[in-house]
Structure 1
Amino acid sequence: MGIAGKKILLTTTHQNIRSGGSIQLSQLARALTAAGARVEALFNYRAGADRESSNLTALEQAGVAVRFLRFNRWYHPAQIWRLRDWLRRGAYDIVHTHKGSDLSLVLLAGAGLPIPCVVNTRGVNFRLGLNRYKYRSRRLDRIIVVSQDSRRVMVDCGVPADKIRVIYGGADTERFRPLPAERAPVRAEWSIPPDALVSVVAANLVRQKGHGDYLEAAAALRAAHPELWHVFAGGGDQAPWRERAAELGVADRVIFAGFRRDMERVYAAADLSVMPSFAGEGVSGVLREAMACGLPVITTDVGGNAELVRDGETGLVVPIRQPAALAGALQRLVVDRELAARLAGAGAALVRSQFSVAHRMERILALYEEVFRDKGLPF
């Protein structure tokens, strides 16, 4: 039997496919559909949302039924009732939630309904507060975390270890691969010289992603390495970061590329990629993508990133909130191009073998089967 024919609801409180959790949901939805499952992806409703720019049209074209329901954090009774009716009429074999808030709603709305398998994916490593109790619910069959570090945090917060499984996120290695033909045109778009060295930070412009620390590191290297340019690829308010770059004297070397749907081309224009975050990471998906594209990477030792980026083997790892250490790692890769090439090759091989979408899909299918077998249900 297997997954073919199973009716599966994947939920998220995201309104589009632009960030880690929703990207992983999209990849899973496509893979399950290709395997013969009947998949619905339930997103948060937002009036006037542009389906095309949110990548939802492409998901529908892959055969996934895209649905919308208004989610909010206040758990209004009408909202819970609508979701309950949805779950009852849907008669799903598997409900797989991808955020903490939609898990809460599913547990409330699904009380007493015969849902054979309920799974949650938790992609961050923040400690749990009062919300820890929902993860202990008997109606939640398994919790997928994306790193050993995230598992440790949940166990420390009292979540039963036997219901937690570590399944790393996956990179789409067909999409994210070296694209040398894109290097020159993308650089020309930003007016970056062909012989410059380019470092890309792929992250939304929010404080915990560490752009401030990165700019200080860039400033420390400006005099010694004027050939080094920096690209910030991510959505958010650019104004405070532009102001900070000007204060530090690096404004003419920092490109604010905004949110990009063609990150594989952005990586093609770069020589290395950096994740300077200091909080909240599971394992940063942008690191997997950059490594799959053949770039050497630097990450701070946040969340489970060091489980992917093994210092001196598949990349460089530096302490969080230490711009001087970050500058030192950047300089190593700028000066020692042989080291950069060795790390890039090892990183790409690791992603292809252990951090691909296909590898993640195999693990999730095995988890679904485990739940069904434990309950004596056919799979």
Structure 2
Amino acid sequence: MRVVQVSAHYPPNHVSGGTLVPQRLARGLAARGHEVFVYAGHLDEHRRPLETWTEDDGSGVQVRWIVTTPWTAWADPRNSVNPPVGEDFARWLDEVKPDVVHLHSLQTLGGELVEVAQRAGAAVVVTMHDFWWTCARQFLVAPDMRPCSLVVDCGTCPCAGGHTWLERRNTVLARYLRHADVVLTPSASAGAVLEANGVDGARLRVDENGVPPEDLVGAPVPHAGDDEPHPVRLLFAGTPDPMKGIDVLLRAVDTLPSDGSWTLDVYGVPERGRHRPEVRFHPRYGRDEVAEVFATHDVLVLPSVMRESYSIVTREALGSGLAVVCTDTLGPEEVVRDGENGLVVPAGDADSLAAALRRLAESPALVRRLRGGTQAVPIRTVDEQLDHVEEVYRELVDREDPAEHPEQRTAEVDAGLRSLVNRVLVVVGIRGAALRYRGRLPAEALRMRGFTVDVRHYRDPEIAELADRADVVVLYRVPATVQVADLVDRVRARDRAVPVLFDVDDLIFDPELEGEVHGLHVLSAEEHALWWRGVARYRTTLEMCDAYVGSTEALCAHVTAVTGIPAHRFANGVGQALAQVSDEALARPRTPGPLRIGYFSGTNTHDADWAAVEPAVVRVLASHPDVELWLGGQLGTGPALEQFGDRVRRLPMLPWYELPQRLRDVDVNLAPLVLDNRFNEAKSAIKWLEAALVETPTVASPTQPFREAVEHGVTGMLATDEESWVEAITTLLDDPLARRRTGSRARRDALLRWGPHAQGERYEEILTTVWRARAADGPRAASGWEPVLDDEPLDSTEGWLDPYPGIPAGSADHLRELLLRVPGGSKVVAAGRVLRSDGPVAVVRRTAFVVRRKLVG
């Protein structure tokens, strides 16, 4: 095969772990008989920009150099897209005519080289050694050395040129990346982050970096001094780059006692001015010294702030019998098991790192146990990596004709189907948080995947016109009306398949469940009857539809059991607006004060849930006299709390965009639910999700959604009875490291599993499945359900939905101003629409409606 390796930097001009990989692949493939060429950026201030030349690298590989010195700054537009380089690359590929182009780091060369390679007719492979495709600074670390949001769309980091600039940059790069056939990543954890940022998971494959035999650590040397008592010997092996965490480590050890219980040897960092006598600085050691260095230490400390896509030194240390203390920066965690062969702490957190090191210094027995849990971790060789890369190349080059290749035919069918399912109308029957989670967030996620989505109230006069253009109609919590029935009939009468879906995220569509619903005791007889008529109306709308979309397994199972309608699970997830407000709250210091337990009930329907956990909370407050309890929303509590006086704080309900700051200020969040209750089993894990986004750990009841979200002891705690609630809350209150680590892991899981890109992919999958079924089987036949409908004429005022702005490149404060401003930009636009369709009287009625809502609360 004729193979091209492309790298922004290349030895000997620039040597690093990321530049050695393409060199090793190029030379290894050449040695195996392939024709190999290299296209590489060159850094040289004495040569003119874009100057090119070709030379042999000494192994028979021809290297085409191009000078890219002026564009190394992360914020430089030509660091990301560099048209002159793309033009030179295209001309050079016309001469080389490769079968495969394998692109590695592309900063200064530009992302458009991926498209250029595909246009040249080559199979295209991209290896992402870091996170440059979504983070211009490459390592998901902000300029102030704070770890950035793992999902960039959910963060507010300033990056290299501002967050809005970053989003525009990433949109452009994503278009270029679509031209890659395969995307390789050094580890599964890095791959999960890339997929959560929108990289197509179907094209992602893990390709661990290989290590040459001469660089592998030999047999472990017996550890010196192990037979005699000695201080815990800590080791740092890295560089002075702040992203490697040396400053965090030095701040952490500054808080450790001077009692002879520990020492720290720092390799590869110049000696600092004043430092602790226990800290010793050494030059960087050579490969032939690795075994001896490891043999004189007990614990490797890896305090990286940057996200590590792999980590050879972690694997070498474990294989040599050292325990490892690492940060939660992905690559190291693939082999460090907290409490078994090391400890894992949140990145950039000197206090948590100090707590972990203090535990080791105080407990030689713990150090021995962790070292006893280490074992040789397999480290891939260069030959093994070459085998895998060759296999990928052959698979792409030998691809069959699309007409004879089932997978390719499926991809083409899906692409054609996407052209038929592109415009979605979401009709909603409720406002507030429920609308955000089931209407706004799916719309946002689908738009990120290129869909056109309209979200309108069921009484909006424009819904009929929008339905005429829609490819799919989703009815979310829409009660049955004469007008809704007409709308569904109108969609059914179209000359092509347009499926209609029903979505509701509560068990409020089955009148047979009367008597099982908590919280209805606060209603009058008239309100009670009206509530259950609403249930029958929801059921009527459901029966009109082709399929159901639900937030939990229990909801989906119940719908299919009582109606036979096919159900599809779409869990409540993370939206950009809430995630970005949460990111800003996380960046602020926690409000000073005592430890706090928080429970935010929202409505007054959670009294029974609180009653189930109140005895445990009373016991915890009694045993922790400095702990406060914060109760938010409308909640009835028992007399047992009165003994704690002002340690129990009652907080009013807040707008959704202020909730993250309140969750940030509590140390333990509670999410109790009465167990063995069908309604509660159907409720989603939103309370865990919202707290996770600000790294506040949650103790929850083990309903199915919470069991799905929470890995007990890792991303939260699950409790079933009074004793387990007391134990879980106490554990988190008494152990700051466990509290901090649990919150950090919860945030990661929330972003990676339920971030907007993952949500969009899932919803697209549902739309595709439902459209196929509708096209094949026709509309669902009428059931035996007796319809319950009301007459609610379309009306611009009653059909108004408040605007849903994203977070501007600024802060949550600006979002707050947008939402509270009267009149404000988006509302003026919407009022203009009402004025045009219904005249000035409707505008006045709408204004009165808004004012009345605000007064009522």
Q: TM-score, normalised by structure 1?
A: 0.73
Q: For residue 368 of structure 1, what is the aligned residue in structure 2? A: 393
Structure 2 CA distance for aligned equivalents of residues 231 and 30 of structure 1: 34
After TM superposition, the structure 1 stretch with the greater mean CA deviation from structure 2, 266-275 or 368-377, is 368-377
SS at match of 1:144: strand
Structure 2 CA distance for aligned equivalents of residues 294 and 23 of structure 1: 27
Q: For residue 598 of structure 2, what is the aligned residue in structure 1? A: none
Contact 2:42 2:67 in 1 (8 A): yes
Structure 2 CA distance for aligned equivalents of residues 281 and 132 of structure 1: 24
Q: For residue 120 of structure 2, what is the aligned residue in structure 1? A: 113
Structure 2 CA distance for aligned equivalents of residues 33 and 293 of structure 1: 34
Q: Compute the displacement of 1:276 (Å).
A: 0.7
Cα deviations across residues 275-322 of structure 1 (Å, max 9, x unaligned)? 211233212333234445554332111133211323344543222233
Structure 2 CA distance for aligned equivalents of residues 367 and 361 of structure 1: 10
Contact 1:208 1:277 in 2 (8 A): yes
After TM superposition, the structure 1 stretch with the greater mean CA deviation from structure 2, 273-282 or 325-334, is 325-334
2:368 to 331, 338, 358: 338
When residues 180 and 286 of structure 1 are mapped into structure 2, their CA distance, relative to the original with a 3 A threshold, is closer
Instruction: Please say if 1:232 is aligned against 2:267.
Output: yes
After TM superposition, the structure 1 stretch with the greater mean CA deviation from structure 2, 68-77 or 19-28, is 68-77
Q: For residue 6 of structure 2, what is the aligned residue in structure 1? A: 11
Cα deviations across residues 145-173 of structure 1 (Å, max 9, x unaligned)? 22333223322232221111122333345
Aligned counterparts, 1:29-178, within 5 A: 29-47=26-44, 60-71=57-68, 72=71, 74=78, 75-101=81-107, 102=109, 104-107=111-114, 109-110=116-117, 112-115=119-122, 117-125=123-131, 126=140, 127=151, 129=167, 130-136=169-175, 137-172=177-212, 174-178=214-218
Q: Compute the displacement of 1:218 (Å).
A: 2.6
Contact 1:143 1:164 in 2 (8 A): yes
Q: Compute the displacement of 1:196 (Å).
A: 8.3
Q: Compute the displacement of 1:98 (Å).
A: 1.2
When residues 26 and 313 of structure 1 are mapped into structure 2, their CA distance, relative to the original with a 3 A threshold, is farther
Q: Compute the displacement of 1:63 (Å).
A: 4.7
Higher relative contact order (CA 8 A, sep 6+): 1
Instruction: Please say if 1:301 is aligned against 2:320.
Output: no
Structure 1 CA distance for aligned equivalents of residues 110 and 205 of structure 2: 17
Cα deviations across residues 88-136 of structure 1 (Å, max 9, x unaligned)? 2122222111114346142354463122x11111122445643255345
Contact 2:103 2:114 in 1 (8 A): no
Q: Compute the displacement of 1:211 (Å).
A: 1.1
Instruction: Please say if 1:206 is aligned against 2:241.
Output: yes
Q: Compute the displacement of 1:142 (Å).
A: 0.9
Structure 2 CA distance for aligned equivalents of residues 338 and 309 of structure 1: 16
Q: For residue 268 of structure 1, what is the aligned residue in structure 2? A: 292
Cα deviations across residues 32-77 of structure 1 (Å, max 9, x unaligned)? 233322333333212389xxxxxxxxx9455544442223462554
Q: For residue 220 of structure 1, what is the aligned residue in structure 2? A: 255
Query: Which letter maps to 1:255?
Result: F
Q: Compute the displacement of 1:331 (Å).
A: 5.6
Instruction: Please say if 1:20 is aligned against 2:17.
Output: yes
Query: Which letter maps to 2:399?
Result: D
Structure 2 CA distance for aligned equivalents of residues 134 and 328 of structure 1: 41
Contact 1:132 1:157 in 2 (8 A): no
SS at match of 1:273: strand
CA root-mean-square deviation: 3.6
SS at match of 1:278: coil
Q: For residue 56 of structure 1, what is the aligned residue in structure 2? A: none
Structure 2 CA distance for aligned equivalents of residues 65 and 290 of structure 1: 37
Structure 2 CA distance for aligned equivalents of residues 66 and 204 of structure 1: 29
Contact 2:86 2:110 in 1 (8 A): no
When residues 76 and 157 of structure 1 are mapped into structure 2, their CA distance, relative to the original with a 3 A threshold, is closer
Structure 2 unaligned regions, length at least 5: 47-55, 132-139, 141-150, 153-166, 225-229, 403-857
When residues 295 and 109 of structure 1 are mapped into structure 2, their CA distance, relative to the original with a 3 A threshold, is same
Larger radius of gyration: 2
After TM superposition, the structure 1 stretch with the greater mean CA deviation from structure 2, 273-282 or 292-301, is 292-301
Count the aligned residue pairs: 336
When residues 359 and 77 of structure 1 are mapped into structure 2, their CA distance, relative to the original with a 3 A threshold, is closer
Aligned counterparts, 1:316-331, within 5 A: 316-330=343-357
SS at match of 1:104: coil
Contact 2:37 2:61 in 1 (8 A): yes
Structure 1 CA distance for aligned equivalents of residues 57 and 183 of structure 2: 27
Q: For residue 286 of structure 1, what is the aligned residue in structure 2? A: 313
Structure 1 CA distance for aligned equivalents of residues 207 and 289 of structure 2: 27
Query: Which letter maps to 2:121?
Result: P
Structure 2 CA distance for aligned equivalents of residues 299 and 283 of structure 1: 12
Query: Which letter maps to 1:212?
Result: D
Q: Compute the displacement of 1:144 (Å).
A: 0.8
Contact 1:42 1:68 in 2 (8 A): yes
When residues 166 and 110 of structure 1 are mapped into structure 2, their CA distance, relative to the original with a 3 A threshold, is closer
When residues 32 and 135 of structure 1 are mapped into structure 2, their CA distance, relative to the original with a 3 A threshold, is farther
Aligned counterparts, 1:351-366, within 5 A: 351-352=378-379, 355-366=380-391
Contact 2:305 2:347 in 1 (8 A): yes
Q: Compute the displacement of 1:230 (Å).
A: 1.7
Query: Which letter maps to 2:272?
Result: R
Structure 2 CA distance for aligned equivalents of residues 359 and 331 of structure 1: 40
When residues 328 and 77 of structure 1 are mapped into structure 2, their CA distance, relative to the original with a 3 A threshold, is closer
